[in-house]
Amino acid sequence: MSGLKAKNHILIVLVVGLAASLALYALPKAVIKNEKPAGQPTNSEKNEAKAPDEHMKLSEGQLAEIAKIRTENKGEQAQYEALSTYFASQNLFDSAAYFAEQLAVSQPSEASWLAAGDLYYQAFTLSLNPVNQEKLADLTRAAYQKALAINPKQLHAKTNTAMTYVSSSSPMQAIMMLRQVLDENPRYVPALMSMGALSMQSRQYDKALGRFEEVLGIDPGNMNAQLGKAYSLIELGKKEEAQAILQQVKALGVDEVLENEIDKTLKSLE
């Protein structure tokens, strides 16, 4: 038995270690389109917490918190920052990104555009709607491009920008951009991890294994790389090596979602 399917490999490699892990996929996301004066929720705040093919309303408690934030933060920039932080805490990352972008427009800097790009990227990676994914990918690239205009050597922005092309009509652009990043810094772990994940997606498990081993040579405690190595080994028929790694990762005290995934995989290898 070969373990998990390729798409599930990617899910684990890219998502494990995030605070909310896989549970983020089940949460509604709101898109905030228009600003209104302080204390007045936008129409989208009221009605457009979106999940695929359905519309959900924000709770009364959430609306009350938004109104409170607008009342307590008098300056426009203070409101943007507070609203972005609040929506991120609610796992409404596209809304958080919108306000982070407004803050970056009013107070442009490498850090502010990176913050907006990171939130748009988070929303992009969690979107299940192809149309929304494409829009969020464009917004992600635009924000990161502003950061890169300030600092052309910003490898984080380049790496995440590359990953927005994976599901686009130009997937090879992702590979080319990641290679450019690794040309600049061959030891840049996020780019190596991304290359490993893409190798898994294309079922080139020997190449994936090599990438994850590169990461572990730089950062031996990198759990994502350990998982990537284990699932690559499974596909290469080296089950005993994979089992040992998965047991080691599980012993570290991982969260319940990841522990369940590891248990399922270990059971499939029996």
Q: What is the pLDDT of residue 3?
A: 43
Task: Examine the pLDDT at 161 and tell me if it is beyond 50.
Answer: yes
Q: What is the pLDDT of residue 6?
A: 43
Span between the terminal Cα atoms of the chain, in Å: 9
Check if the beta carbon of residue 175 is closer than 8 Å to that of residue 198: yes
Label residue 221 exposed, middle or buried (CB < 10 Å: 0-12, 13-18, 19+): exposed
3 state DSSP class of 51: strand
Query: Domain spanning 154-270 has what CATH number?
Result: 1.25.40.10
Which residue has tokens 């994979």?
242
User: How far, in Å, are 192, 194, 232, 254, 269 from residue 149 at the CA level?
Assistant: 24, 23, 37, 39, 49
66-72 average pLDDT score = 92
The ranges assigned to domains in the chain are: 26-152, 154-270
Q: Residue 21 and residue 195: Cα distance in Å, rounded?
A: 21
Using one digit for the tens of pLDDT, what is the confidence trace for 103-159?
Answer: 999 999 999 999 999 999 999 999 888 899 999 999 999 999 999 999 999 999 999
Band (1; pLDDT cuts 50, 70, 90): very low
Task: Examine the pLDDT at 39 and tell me if it is beyond 50.
Answer: no
